[in-house]
Structure 1
Amino acid sequence: MTQETSKIKVGISIGDLNGIGCEIILKTFQDSRMLSFCTPVIFANTKVVSYYKKILKIPINFQGIPSADKAIDDKVNVVNLWKENIKITPGAEDKVIGEYAFKSLQAATNALKENQVDVLVTAPINKHVIQSEEFNFPGHTDYLAQEFGGESLMFMVSENLKIGLLTDHVPVKNVPEKITRKLIEQKVNTIAESLKKDFCVSVPKIAVLGINPHNGDNGVIGDEDQKVLMPTVNQLNKKGQYVFGPYAADSFFGSKNYQNFDAVIAAYHDQGLVPFKTLAFGNGVNFTAGLSKVRTSPDHGTAYEIAGKGEANHNSFEEAVFTAIKIYKNRNEYQQLTKNPLKRQGKKL
């Protein structure tokens, strides 16, 4: 926690202003009990927040502040990043709105770097309209990896299911060439480390899904599983990692085999996110594992089709806030236990 407040400061980027980002943020913090868990710091503009408060009739009070280090406990804080008026058109794609989404993300990221906030929760962006010379990335994960370094990984998490991705925002046709032994080892190590320090799993068990249908049927439908995945999994086992697979993806979730593992690694985006969103949609969280700082987001996008209508469900965003807080606390506890092995041994007993 930062010195200026007694609570965890949650930095929040506003996302696409024509999407449901502002709505789910306001709905989350209209419950004053949330302020007992954290101090929210929204990076945007009070005029924007007032606009959505008015049209959606959300009963919430907030405090405008000049910078994150001026955040006040027991208040919903809004950092005024700009003074000009913005034309907001809920549901519309707009490159100008994309520029403001990046301003919010950039300011929130800088505040996290400078320890003015403790964690970052990002509202959904439109990956097309946010593109610019400064933001030339497939999404949040790649941008934050550049800003904070480390081996970042898109980790979809819920209470009963955690799925990491070998490749995330990559065209399906390019997936096989992207998956190398080095990449698999890197992602497995990142997930194992995250399970230990972020989710308090002392001995992680990780399942790896195959790249091809039926794991390639012994080379009949591709040989990547036999030539790349299997040897790497075996090598990781020899190094002491509890990694298993590759498993055929088509039956893995329907058979509930995922319940036997602490996490699953999918080969590509939809292989992991389709089952995750089927089993955990609305309660799942997108967590960027492998960074030195904690970042989470809801498990959905801008939802233009319902933007400005008051129909957005804020459960996933609320869960993203709680998950960021839990991970932040778990990391601090893990660091303390690592520094004090005797205390750690006593805790296990």
Structure 2
Amino acid sequence: MKENQKIRLGISIGDVNGIGCEVILKTFEDARMLDFCTPVIFASNKTISQHKNDLSIKSTFHGIRQASEAVDGKINVVNVWKEAPKIEYGKATKDGGNYAIKSLKAAVVALKEDKIDVLVTAPINKNNVQSEEFKFPGHTDFLAQELKGQSLMFMVADSLRVGLLTDHIAVKDVAESITPQLIRDKVAIMEKSLKMDFGIRRPKIALLGINPHSGDHGTIGEEDDKILKPTIQEFFDKGSLVFGPYSADSFFGSGSHQNFDAILAAYHDQGLIPFKTLSFGKGVNYTAGLEKVRTSPDHGTAYEIAGKGTADESSFKEAVFMAIQIFKNRKDYLELTNNPLQKQKVKRAS
């Protein structure tokens, strides 16, 4: 990014039959958003025009051939394809999935080539995106492959941060998938992200138990005693503030989550049900652990309301703000840790 240039925020449009284009256009219908970043949408003029007209959205856009041509103060649209896809709001079509992946792949290439600074992804349908070229259960696994590093699905809403040990796998496979090494890897990613991306110097992390009541001393499964507890102790012995396992059923309701900078849940619904209940539709899905910044709203394609103009853009807008803030936090962190004089000041202050 050039000096004095706004952050270039790349956007993949997700499923063209869902609410992705709607929440994107509604977010930038407020011209003040252009003071924070330069949006670069990967789609086509025709696609964006149809959604804009169908939904009576007033924002205007600027068509470009590649992300490097993006103009500050405008909503830029990179023409990834020339044709006009058939839009069938509310339907999970093969075309809907194909164009979602075309948009995503073009955005990721631009991100890897530093033509954009961060990426915000609109929702895809995990079924209709599957093809010979794309065999991933979702964005996270694809981005982990493309953007180097081990990823962590990290749900964030203000001070509430919930990560997942396992994400898009069947419940029957959860227990056997959780190993000491997986726990070490995910806690390490979470701890580094809290320091580098969120500016927390000494992060305090809680792990939720795998079984009901964290196994009740082996009465309801032995995984918590044999896998979680010894691994948590390893971190604690090394000076990391990692605690648990905590019984998941009462952890959030009792307010215990407020005592930690982040929570690591054992599986998808254990973490996301309380997160979405508490975040009131303004949560963000952040992929921690990668060399680049990617966020997304915490909702899906919402076919049931697609094309009706009633979608709430709050979560997408929060995803935009979070991507910008994490990009800035990382820059500050890297400048601090790479500056010997600043390192010495931090050492003396502590």
TM-score, structure 1 normalization: 0.98
Q: What is residue 126 of structure 2 aligned with on the other side?
A: 127
Tell me, yes or no, if structure 1 residue 303 matches structure 2 residue 297: no
Aligned counterpart, 2:342: 343
Cα separation, 1, equivalents of 2:338 and 2:49: 46
Deviation at 1:347, TM superposition (A): 6.4
1-structure distance, mates of 2:192, 2:290: 11
Match of 1:188 in 2: 187
Matched with 2:243 is: 244
Q: What SS does the corresponding residue of 2:86 show, helix, strand or coil?
A: coil
Q: Secondary structure of the equivalent of 2:197?
A: helix
2:36 maps to a residue whose letter is F
Residue of structure 2 in register with 1:55 after alignment: 54
Find the aligned partners of 2:105 and 2:41 in 1 and give their Cα distance: 12
Alignment-derived partner of residue 287 in structure 2 = 288
Counting only pairs closer than 5 Å after superposition, residues 1-349 of structure 1 correspond to structure 2 as: 1-2=1-2, 6-346=5-345, 349=349
C-alpha distance in 2, partners of 1:344/1:89?
56
Alpha-carbon contact 1:209-1:247 (below 8 Å) kept: yes
Provide, for residues 181-236 of structure 1, a one-character-per-residue CA deviation record: whole Å limited to 9, x for no partner: 00001000000000000000000000000000001111111100000000000111
**Which ranges in structure 2 are unaligned for 5 or more consecutive residues?**
none
1:15-53 deviation per Cα after TM superposition (whole angstroms, max 9, x unaligned): 000000000000000100000000000000111111111
Letter in 2 for 1:176: A
How far does residue 342 in structure 1 lie from its aligned partner after superposition?
Answer: 2.4
User: In the aligned structure 2, how far is the partner of 1:335 from the partner of 1:84?
Assistant: 43
Q: Which letter does structure 2 place at the counterpart of 1:311?
A: T
Shift of 1:84: 1.1
Any conservation in 2 of the 1:2–1:9 contact (CA below 8 Å)? Answer: no
Distance, in Å, in 2 between the alignment partners of 1:274 and 1:239 is 32
Q: Is the 8 A contact 1:27 1:314 kept in 2?
A: yes
Deviation, 1:240, is: 1.3
Give 1:341 deviation, angstroms: 3.8
SS at match of 2:11: strand
User: Which AA in structure 2 matches 1:271?
Assistant: Q
Any runs of at least 4 consecutive aligned residues in structure 1 with deviations exceeding 6 A, and if so which?
none
What code does the residue aligned with 1:247 have? Y
| Count of residue pairs the alignment pairs up | 348
Mapped partners of 1:162, 1:343: distance in 2: 28
CA distance in 1, matches of 2:150, 2:177: 15
CA contact (8 A) 1:283 1:315 kept: yes
Report deviation, 1:2.
Answer: 4.4
Classify the secondary structure of the residue corresponding to 1:199: coil
Task: Indicate if the aligned counterparts of 1:210 and 1:249 stay in contact, CA closer than 8 A.
Answer: yes
Instruction: Output the CA distance in 2 between the equivalents of 1:57 and 1:97.
Output: 21
Q: Measure, in 1, the Cα distance between the counterparts of 2:300 and 2:340.
A: 43
Partner amino acid, structure 2, of 1:164:
G
Task: Give the superposition deviation at 1:158.
Answer: 1.1
Aligned with 1:195: secondary structure?
Answer: helix
For 2:198 and 2:83, locate their aligned partners in 1 and report how far apart those are by CA, in whole Å. 42
Report the TM-score, using the length of structure 2 for normalisation. 0.98
Q: Distance in 2 between matches of 1:165 and 1:259?
A: 18
1:63 Cα shift? 0.2
Counterparts of 1:96 and 1:158 in 2: how far apart (Å)? 33
Q: Which digits, 9 at most, give the CA deviation of each residue in 1:230-287, with x for residues without a partner?
A: 0000111111111000000000000000000000000000000000000003211000
1:122 Cα deviation from its structure 2 partner = 0.1
Task: Show CA shifts across 1:42-95 (max 9, x none).
Answer: 000111111111111111010000000100000000001111121101000101
Aligned counterparts of 1:84 and 1:51: Cα–Cα separation in 2: 12
Unaligned runs of 5+ in 1: none
What is the deviation of 1:345?
Answer: 4.9
Secondary structure class of the residue paired with 2:154: strand
| Contact map agreement 1:20 1:302 (CA 8 A) in 2 | yes
- Of the structure 1 ranges 6-15 and 337-346, higher mean CA displacement relative to structure 2 is found in 337-346
Contact 2:212/2:248 (<8 A) preserved: yes
Kept after mapping to 1: 8 A contact 2:46/2:83: no
The alignment yields a C-alpha RMSD, in angstroms, of 1.1
Residues 28, 345 of structure 1: alpha-carbon distance in 2 compared, 3 angstrom cutoff: farther
Amino acid at match of 2:214: N
Q: Which amino acid aligns with 2:102?
A: K
Q: Displacement, 1:344?
A: 4.5
